[in-house]
């Protein structure tokens, strides 16, 4: 049945609906939507950071209408927009079943960063990516949610490595008109204007709306002509500037966020502070209650009932602390509004309220003014209870009221295209047995089977449980998938390295295919280059590692990526060391560093590598999430038993480095971990990967991949995580 050509009206309608899809981040987790945008402008898609809005701007209305005259393409577009409408109007969500009784109004989620997609680079790292994944899952589950953050018009920095192998930073200006976001309008039809008092100034801000599936995320923006230049630049860069910029950004986020919600008429059921950055919101909630006639004590108690707090790190520097001077300079309005002294205000952020030398800590404020708090893994919960015991010295440490919810990832958003297609083919085989493999690449675009939501099934635990069954998927199929993914990543790395090299040397001295070996055991490491993550740990035994990499029969190779904080010279030295080794040691060709780590690079690496290496100094990795992204692609974790891996590892589904304990001395720990890392690699990982049958298939390795898929993939998702937040935190306990 050939699809019929559309009438002009139908084409107009379709184009308008496609436009709507482009301004909803839903397309970032819908493969078919992405394929439509890709096809409209393949180079545009590639060069504009896979941005649907920019692609639609690239294609004229006339071109789009002509393209839609092609019935086959029009049918696919219709399929996408129908899918979108179905998603947006679905009634039978988890939230509809479980949450309405519990949550009448939306959850307001405040965070200093949101990492949704490479198109909108306003996250510095894992905290933001987690927030983005939280928002996506809240939408998928049908939970009322509204996100609050800032629109940093220069985002987080871009990394470029110079000829000394030193990280340099540059910023590019984001253009809201070309991004999946829209200005928020007030009742008068004009862009909304709100104000927040910072220091002695009233700083005006407006807001942008990012549609994350069914839910809005609002990004505050002070770049308005009526503001002083330094106030306009509060929303310039993620964590830009010094502590005085930081405190002003946090006042804007916390207080401004509440003001915006009030202006929009949103009355959240609960305020979720994702990390301490947003904690000033409690002062605004208290001010409102005082104004409504409550006493300070009543206002405080009522505010506490509305707030919950998630702490994300045991690293000291991760907890913002502001001096009394800075507080009285930038935040004196709080004491005025709450009619309290500056000392009383400081007390809210102090462990010892009367200690005049103690700075104001945002984490302390958040803990004091929330009804419940949590860490992001079991171990991190325990470590946090110890860390903040002094705040609750009247109870034993086990009773410090900080629980835990282990982080997760938004599975559909992270699953790479070929992997989704791979599983999708399985669904169609189920329907029509015996048709396996037919079509191959020519059926690149699949039709949604009518009446069955395969994407929903793909994220169900039941689906992943079948993977242990070789009748469902064979070792050969899984191994060939691994080859596809490894090759895609290697070719991605080669392209990126060529560009990196050309930029630095102005010539191409890398020979494309001399870099990386598609048959080698490929080990990936990519994350922020915070020093506690110890990126170069593996190279403490450099001669042994060179030996492993140059082994002809059982070759190993390494791919690294990551950004160091602009002011972290130690982190930059780690990068320099690794790049130096990649260029000037015998590791050349077996070790590469890919510049400018972001969500796109992350997606390539977690899917293409065979092993995801993580060797933080325990217990400083509160959870870690990149290793969770590896599982659905058949990439195995090799990690210290810290954060999530301590809960995920069961002896059959990946590799542990060392024991479920750590020595007190840092030096001893580094020495021990370096040894354990090397032992795990040489005694377990390499032998298993190269244990092949006569066709070269590593059956035992693949068995481990199956175990990882069964035990880890359905467990470490933000679907599970958001359900836990909803049931255990968003809903007041005991009601």
Binding stretches for ligand PLP (CB under 6 A): 125-126, 129, 527, 597-599, 602, 624-626, 629
Min separation Cβ 82 and ligand PLP, Å: 31
Instruction: Map residue 216 onto helix, strand or coil.
Output: strand
Calculate Rg over the CA atoms of the chain.
Answer: 26
Residue 178 is classified by DSSP as G
Nearest to 130, CA basis, from 622, 598, 625: 625
Nearest to 86, CA basis, from 164, 33, 153: 33
- Could you write out the DSSP letters of every residue in 220-261? EE---TTS-HHHHGGGTSTT-S-HHHHHHHHHIIIIIHHHHH
Instruction: Map residue 102 onto helix, strand or coil.
Output: coil
Q: Toward ligand PLP, which CB reaches closer, 277 or 426? A: 277
Min separation Cβ 452 and ligand PLP, Å: 31
Q: Toward ligand PLP, which CB reaches closer, 366 or 640? A: 640
Q: Toward ligand PLP, which CB reaches closer, 271 or 525? A: 525
Contact present, 169 and 572 (Cβ < 8 Å):
no
Min separation Cβ 570 and ligand PLP, Å: 17
Q: Toward ligand PLP, which CB reaches closer, 249 or 639? A: 639
Nearest to 260, CA basis, from 309, 205, 210, 222: 205
Contact present, 126 and 711 (Cβ < 8 Å):
no
Strand arrangement of the beta sheet that strand 611-614 belongs to: 591-594, 556-561, 521-526, 611-614, 636-640, 655-657
Min separation Cβ 156 and ligand PLP, Å: 10
Contact present, 158 and 172 (Cβ < 8 Å):
yes
Min separation Cβ 115 and ligand PLP, Å: 6
What are the angstrom distances between the C-alpha of 693 and each of 232, 480, 526, 696? Answer: 64, 15, 32, 5
Q: Toward ligand PLP, which CB reaches closer, 259 or 527? A: 527
Min separation Cβ 118 and ligand PLP, Å: 9
Q: Toward ligand PLP, which CB reaches closer, 524 or 698? A: 524
Distance CA 157, CA 168 (A): 9
Min separation Cβ 98 and ligand PLP, Å: 28
Q: Toward ligand PLP, which CB reaches closer, 128 or 144? A: 128
φ and ψ at residue 227, rounded to 5 degrees:
-90, 150
Q: Toward ligand PLP, which CB reaches closer, 365 or 485? A: 485
Q: Toward ligand PLP, which CB reaches closer, 313 or 428? A: 313
Nearest to 600, CA basis, from 141, 116, 178, 157: 116
Contact present, 124 and 239 (Cβ < 8 Å):
yes
273-285 burial by CB neighbour count: b if 16+ within 10 A, else e? Answer: bbbbbbbbbbbbb
Distance CA 315, CA 670 (A): 17
Q: Toward ligand PLP, which CB reaches closer, 56 or 383? A: 383
Min separation Cβ 626 and ligand PLP, Å: 3
Q: Toward ligand PLP, which CB reaches closer, 149 or 330? A: 149
CA angle 98, 101, 103 (to 5 degrees): 90
Min separation Cβ 56 and ligand PLP, Å: 26
- Give the residues across from 150 on adjacent strands: 220
Q: Toward ligand PLP, which CB reaches closer, 87 or 593? A: 593
Min separation Cβ 137 and ligand PLP, Å: 15
Q: Toward ligand PLP, which CB reaches closer, 594 or 599? A: 599
Strand 372-375 with 307-310, pairing: parallel
- Give the residues across from 309 on adjacent strands: 273, 373
Strand 201-212 with 194-198, pairing: antiparallel
Min separation Cβ 629 and ligand PLP, Å: 6
Instruction: Map residue 7 onto helix, strand or coil.
Output: coil
Give the Cβ contact number of residue 48 at 10 Å.
18
Min separation Cβ 238 and ligand PLP, Å: 12
577-607 burial by CB neighbour count: b if 16+ within 10 A, else e? Answer: ebbebbbeeebebbbbbbbbbbbbbbbbbbb
Q: Toward ligand PLP, which CB reaches closer, 425 or 527? A: 527
H helix intervals, 352-466 = 362-368, 378-387, 411-414, 417-431, 454-458, 461-465
Q: Toward ligand PLP, which CB reaches closer, 555 or 566? A: 566
Q: Toward ligand PLP, which CB reaches closer, 223 or 310? A: 310
Instruction: Map residue 461 onto helix, strand or coil.
Output: helix
Min separation Cβ 575 and ligand PLP, Å: 15
Min separation Cβ 682 and ligand PLP, Å: 24
Bond prior to 555 in cis (omega within 30° of 0): no
Residues whose CB falls within 8 Å of the CB of residue 130, separated by 6 or more in sequence, listed in order: 115, 274, 376, 407, 625, 718
Contact present, 265 and 216 (Cβ < 8 Å):
no
Min separation Cβ 599 and ligand PLP, Å: 5
Q: Toward ligand PLP, which CB reaches closer, 366 or 594? A: 594
Contact present, 654 and 629 (Cβ < 8 Å):
no
Min separation Cβ 119 and ligand PLP, Å: 13
Instruction: Map residue 306 onto helix, strand or coil.
Output: helix
In terms of C-beta density within 10 A (0-12 exposed, 13-18 middle, 19 or more buried), how is residue 507 classed? exposed
Min separation Cβ 125 and ligand PLP, Å: 4
Residue 692 is classified by DSSP as -
């Amino acid at each position: 049945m050939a699809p019929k050509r559309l009438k002009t009206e139908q084409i107009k309608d379709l184009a308008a609906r496609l436009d709507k899809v482009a301004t909803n981040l839903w397309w970032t987790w819908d493969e078919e939507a992405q394929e439509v945008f890709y096809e409209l402008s393949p180079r545009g898609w590639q060069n504009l950071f896979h941005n649907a809005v920019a692609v639609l701007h690239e294609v004229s209305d006339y071109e789009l209408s002509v393209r839609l005259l092609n019935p086959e393409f029009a049918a696919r577009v219709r399929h996408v927009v129908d899918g979108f409408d179905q998603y947006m109007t679905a009634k039978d969500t988890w939230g509809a079943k479980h949450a309405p009784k519990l949550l009448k109004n939306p959850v307001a989620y405040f965070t200093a960063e949101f990492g949704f997609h490479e198109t909108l680079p306003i996250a510095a790292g894992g905290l933001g990516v987690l927030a983005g994944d939280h928002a996506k899952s809240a939408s998928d589950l049908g939970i009322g949610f509204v996100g609050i953050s800032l629109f940093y018009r220069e985002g987080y920095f871009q990394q470029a490595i110079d000829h000394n192998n030193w990280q340099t930073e540059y910023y590019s200006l984001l253009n809201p008109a070309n991004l999946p976001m829209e200005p928020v309008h007030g009742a008068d039809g004009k862009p909304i204007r709100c104000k927040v008092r910072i220091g002695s100034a009233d700083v005006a801000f407006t807001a942008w709306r990012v549609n994350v599936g069914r839910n809005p995320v609002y990004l505050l923006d002070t770049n308005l002509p009526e503001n002083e230049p330094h106030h306009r630049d509060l929303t310039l860069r993620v964590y830009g500037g010094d502590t005085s910029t930081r405190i002003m950004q946090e006042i804007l986020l916390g207080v401004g966020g509440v003001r915006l919600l009030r202006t929009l008429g949103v009355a959240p059921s609960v305020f979720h502070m994702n990390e301490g950055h947003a904690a000033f919101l409690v002062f605004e909630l208290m001010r409102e209650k005082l104004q409504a006639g409550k006493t300070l004590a009543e206002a405080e108690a009522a505010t506490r009932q509305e707030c919950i707090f998630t702490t994300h790190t045991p690293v000291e520097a991760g907890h913002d602390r502001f001096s009394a001077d800075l507080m009285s300079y930038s935040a004196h309005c709080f004491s005025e509004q709450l009619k309290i002294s500056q000392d009383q205000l400081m007390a809210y952020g102090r462990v010892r309220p009367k200690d005049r030398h103690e700075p104001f800590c945002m984490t302390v404020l958040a803990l004091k003014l929330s009804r419940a708090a949590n860490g992001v893994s079991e171990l991190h919960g325990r470590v946090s209870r110890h860390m903040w015991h002094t705040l609750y010295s009247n109870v034993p440490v086990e009773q410090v009221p900080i629980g835990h919810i282990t982080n997760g990832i938004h599975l559909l958003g992270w699953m790479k295209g070929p992997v989704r297609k791979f599983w999708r083919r399985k669904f169609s085989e189920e329907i029509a047995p015996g048709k396996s493999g037919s079509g191959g690449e020519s059926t690149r675009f699949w039709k949604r089977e009518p009446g069955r939501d395969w994407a929903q099934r793909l994220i169900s635990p039941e689906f992943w449980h079948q993977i242990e069954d070789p009748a469902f998927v064979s070792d050969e199929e899984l191994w060939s998938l691994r080859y596809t993914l490894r090759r895609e990543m290697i070719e991605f790395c080669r392209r990126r390295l060529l560009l990196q090299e050309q930029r630095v040397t102005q010539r191409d001295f890398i020979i494309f295919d001399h870099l990386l070996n598609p048959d080698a055991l490929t080990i990936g490491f990519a994350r922020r280059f915070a020093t506690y993550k110890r990126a170069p740990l593996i190279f403490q035994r450099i001669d042994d590692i060179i030996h492993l990499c140059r082994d002809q029969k059982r070759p190993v190779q390494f791919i690294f990526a990551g950004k160091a904080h602009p002011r972290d010279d130690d982190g930059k030295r780690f990068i320099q060391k690794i790049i130096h080794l990649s260029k000037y040691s015998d590791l050349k060709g077996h070790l590469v560093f890919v510049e400018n780590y972001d969500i796109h690079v992350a997606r390539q690496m977690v899917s293409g590598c065979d092993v995801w290496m993580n060797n933080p100094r325990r217990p400083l990795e509160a959870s870690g999430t990149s290793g969770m992204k590896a599982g659905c692609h058949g990439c195995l974790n090799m990690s210290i038993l810290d954060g999530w891996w301590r809960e995920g590892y069961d002896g059959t589904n990946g590799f542990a480095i060392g024991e479920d304990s750590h020595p007190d001395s840092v030096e001893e720990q580094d020495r021990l971990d370096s040894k354990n890392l090397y032992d795990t690699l040489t005694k377990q990982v390499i032998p298993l990967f190269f244990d092949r049958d006569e066709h070269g298939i590593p059956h035992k390795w693949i068995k481990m991949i199956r175990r990882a898929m069964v035990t880890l993939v359905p467990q470490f998702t933000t679907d599970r995580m958001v359900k836990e937040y909803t049931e255990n935190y968003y809903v007041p306990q005991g009601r």
